[in-house]
Structure 1
């Protein structure tokens, strides 16, 4: 799919993470990014930084293939996917993802902001 902006991509990204289990696995994977970053500083061993994306993407992609049943959005839109992953992580961390999913569902139901016929989201 072609997107003209990140704003247009965001609802699609959420739709590709419609199952709560997929989002939880992504949260775990993204948490490892921070763990490896801290470990690299504590041990002054920057090889840990190489483990961060390998671990995070492995966990996330496994969740797409075996839980969500789709192809990771990162394959077609790597930078926007990375940005969206950290946004989803932040929303989950602060308990705001449900509110965002409800907002996107409402927009979808109205037929606004969703030119790609993205399915509804589950909170």
Structure 2
């Protein structure tokens, strides 16, 4: 199912996970998911207002690099920006709480280093 064909978030979530099947892709996303709020807090605390422009750059740069060079697919951000942002942090917090593996299995993502669900 292409992301532009997802009509609901419940349809989008498994698609999103399948688009992040390679563990290295998720690692790059986690770097961005950590960097964005760090940059946000830095910009606010130092009142470096131009730094707010770096927040999306910090968040998306790493994710887009992963999609281009690791996963070799088109980021879901381009078709569903809000669902993608929500899913980035959902995936991140599931990882931090040790619950991501079960979600990946439910989405049909295989458990090996170069997994690629069809």
TM-score (norm 1): 0.81
Matches within 5 A, 1:105-120: 105=108, 120=109
Question: Which residue of 104, 111, 117 maps to 1:122?
Answer: 111
- Are 1:65 and 2:40 an aligned pair? no
Partners of 2:43 and 2:49 within 8 A in 1? yes
Secondary structure of the residue that 1:18 maps to in structure 2?
A: coil
Which residue of structure 2 aligns with residue 115 of structure 1? none
Give the total of aligned pairs. 109
Q: 1:69 to 1:47 in 2, by over 3 A?
A: same
Query: Take 1:92 and 1:38, find their aligned partners in 2: how far apart are those partners?
Result: 22
CA RMSD of aligned residues (A): 1.4
5+ residue gaps, structure 2, are 113-118
Which residue of structure 2 aligns with residue 20 of structure 1? 23
Which residue of structure 2 aligns with residue 51 of structure 1? 54
Q: What is the Cα deviation at residue 43 of structure 1? A: 0.6
Runs of 4+ in 1 over 4 A off after TM superposition: none
- Are 1:33 and 2:36 an aligned pair? yes
